[in-house]
Amino acid sequence: MNVYETIEAYRVIPVVVIDELSRTAPTLAQLSAGGLPIAEITFRTACAREAIALAAAAFPDMLIGAGTVINAAQCRAALGAGAKFIVSPGFSEEVLAAAKAGGAPYFPGCVTPTEIMNALRLGLNVLKFFPAQVYGGLRAINALGAAFPDVRFIPTGGADNSNLAEYLKNPKVYAVGGSFMMKGDITATTAEAVRIVREGR
């Protein structure tokens, strides 16, 4: 499974927080039923590594990644558990090195020109933009995109089904991340996001 091709095909990355290991399979099953075979499982809970391992084993057709990865040890643990991509809230050269060593794409959070320039210097041009609304949303993405034409963003934080289409029609947006489909009826909200993506093509 090619990470970039899969993300480009679906254009939405669910950010999944697993507080109890027993919630892993039911949660991912609901995402899958909604038509979205991707999950970024955050590494900020005690059972994150185990949840990633369970997800990778139980849902081989889903693209499982690790989010909120802030150091190399976490990155190596996530990759060892079966994560296929790594996401950080900020930019970390040690996480980049660990991800490269493990053969996994790395999407660091970058919101300033300096961070973006550092990422480009190290060969990265698909970057998380987090928290998107706090840092200016699409207005900021447009401004930064003008200065860095080779960069595309994954805005996360502030997007939901009410503004998803607006984000996705922007050529600087590679995909949209968020936990918005994890509230309420996960399958129904996910299916609506998938429909918005499909109709926007």
- For range 107-133, the mean pLDDT: 97
Q: Tokens representing 177? A: 């991340």
Q: Is 40 an annotated catalytic residue?
A: yes
CA 101/CA 128 separation, integer angstroms: 20
Quick one: pLDDT at residue 95?
98
User: Domain 3-192: which topology?
Assistant: TIM Barrel (3.20.20)
- Phi first, then psi, for residue 138 (nearest 5°) are -65, -30
pLDDT score, position 1: 73
Query: Out of 84, 93, 128, 199, which one is annotated catalytic?
Result: 128
Domain-wise residue ranges, the chain: 3-192
Query: What would the pLDDT profile of 139-188 be if each residue is shown by its tens digit?
Result: 999 999 999 999 999 999 999 999 999 999 999 999 999 999 998 999 99
Rg (CA), the chain: 16
Q: What is the mean pLDDT of residues 49-64?
A: 98
Q: 69, 75 in Cβ contact below 8 A?
A: yes
Which two tokens mark 3? 């990470």
Catalytic residue among 5, 8, 20, 40: 40
Q: What is the mean pLDDT of the chain?
A: 97
